[in-house]
Amino acid sequence: GILQHPDGTVLKQLQPPPRGPREQEFYNKVYDSDCCDSILLELREYLPKYFGVWSPPTAPNDTYLKLEDVTRKFNKPCIMDVKIGQKSYDPYASAEKIQQQVSKYPLMEEIGFLVLGMRVYHMSSDSYETQNQHYGRSLTKETVKDGISKFFHSGYCLRKDVVAASIQKVEKILEWFEGQTQLNFYASSLLFVYEGSYQVTTMRLSDVTLAEKRRVPKGLLSGGDVLEYNNNIHVLKPTENGKIEASVSKDLSKFYALHKKACSKRHHSQLSLKVENSEQDNAWKTSTCITQEHLNGNVLPQLEKVFYHVPAETKESANVEVRMIDFAHVFPSNTKDEGYIYGLKNLITVLQNILDN
């Protein structure tokens, strides 16, 4: 297992040869202080930081890899481990080993990835839901989308902001693989981590649907538009300038006011929403949930005009990490790692389907 070092790093015990030394050699090569290979230097962005090896004073022969704790900055970290690639055995595996690995998850070659486990914080119950590798191996082509979507559910709603940010990060890793022919990875994983406690977060309002509860952020309408709340006013109506004024019913008395903001030339003729930063950049304080019964008259279509013009960059503001881990089966190569690329593309497709549907 992974141990916690008092200095905030994590310790991964070196596996028996040849796996352990091979993983250590991989980290040493990528993090060599004299490294000037642009491919390897970029790869560092997608790995945990490496701080060499460590041995406890009481057991000097026990060697541990000293690595960055990717979960350390999160309050309620939600964690998922996904093994990537069409093969979970390396080119030097025995026939017995190959059979053993294939029998564990026969769909690996077709799907290209395997969920090894997840731990999800549910705000609704203030508790974690944990799924182990048996859960991942139970997923089929038909159920894998729903199986993975569990990881992105807060207990209240699907965290589409996290899905969108995860897709962007996996796409960056895919770009790296598409551009390198030095290394092939087998039985390696992606570690997904996001903040489960989202008092301060960005929700993708462009994905608002009638069927789902949504949290509405404090923000601004460009072009001088004012959206105010009042217990009595319940419809949207244009002002004398053709702009939009509205407020909502008593149930939404905590709805945040949207204040005047001069619009930029770029967005002069359209509604957009500007984020008001709270504790950190690109973070929105969440307010009350809006459901279909709260919206009447012309409120919904006008609000949708606002929602659908949320700047695309908000997708990146969710607090999400995606890192490559587990390198006991990394080998030199002179070709693209097609098996890993296949798995990444399939995973992106599944994540995109979760986001779209």
Q: How far apart are CA 105 and CA 136, in angstroms?
A: 9
pLDDT one-digit tens code per residue, 160-199: 999 999 999 999 999 999 999 999 999 999 999 999 997 5
Q: How far apart are CA 296 and CA 242, in angstroms?
A: 20
pLDDT one-digit tens code per residue, 96-145: 999 999 999 999 999 999 999 999 999 999 999 999 999 999 999 999 99
Q: How far apart are CA 306 and CA 266, in angstroms?
A: 16
DSSP, res 196: S
Which of 30-39, 90-99, 123-132, 196-205 has the least mean pLDDT? Answer: 196-205
Distance, CA of 199 to chain centre:
17
Residues 6+ apart with CB under 8 A from 292: 210, 211
pLDDT band at 216 (very low <50, low <70, confident <90, very high): very low
CB burial of 173-184 (b: ≥16 within 10 Å; e: otherwise) equals bbeebeebeebb
Element (H, E) at 23: helix 19-30
Kindly state the percentage of the chain with pLDDT values over 90.
65
According to DSSP, the β-strands at 259-261 and 219-222 are: parallel
| pLDDT at 246 > cutoff 80 | no
| pLDDT at 155 > cutoff 60 | yes
| pLDDT at 66 > cutoff 80 | yes
Maximum mean pLDDT: which of 266-270, 290-294, 296-300? 296-300
Q: How far apart are CA 252 and CA 98, in angstroms?
A: 59
The predicted pLDDT at position 357 comes to: 86
- The arithmetic mean of pLDDT across residues 244-267, rounded, is 36
Structure-model confidence comparison of residues 220 and 121, the more confident one: 121
Full-model pTM:
0.70
Q: How far apart are CA 357 and CA 352, in angstroms?
A: 8
Q: How far apart are CA 304 and CA 288, in angstroms?
A: 17
Mean pLDDT (the chain, rounded): 78
CATH number of 70-198+318-356: 3.30.470.160
In Å, how far are 20, 28, 240 from 32, measured between CA atoms? 18, 6, 66
The predicted pLDDT at position 295 comes to: 43
| pLDDT at 90 > cutoff 80 | yes
| pLDDT at 54 > cutoff 50 | yes
| pLDDT at 284 > cutoff 70 | no
- The arithmetic mean of pLDDT across residues 204-209, rounded, is 47
| pLDDT at 7 > cutoff 60 | yes
The predicted pLDDT at position 317 comes to: 56
Domain locations in the chain as residue ranges: 1-69, 70-198+318-356
The predicted pLDDT at position 199 comes to: 56
Query: Count H helices, E strands: the chain?
Result: 9, 20
Structure tokens at 157: 């709603």
- Rounded CA Rg of the chain: 24
Say if CB 170 and CB 202 are below 8 A apart: no
Structure tokens at 260: 């005047």
- Give DSSP secondary structure letters for 111-175: H-EEEEEEEEEETTTTEEEEE-HHHHHT--TTTHHHHHHGGGB-SSSB-HHHHHHHHHHHHHHHH
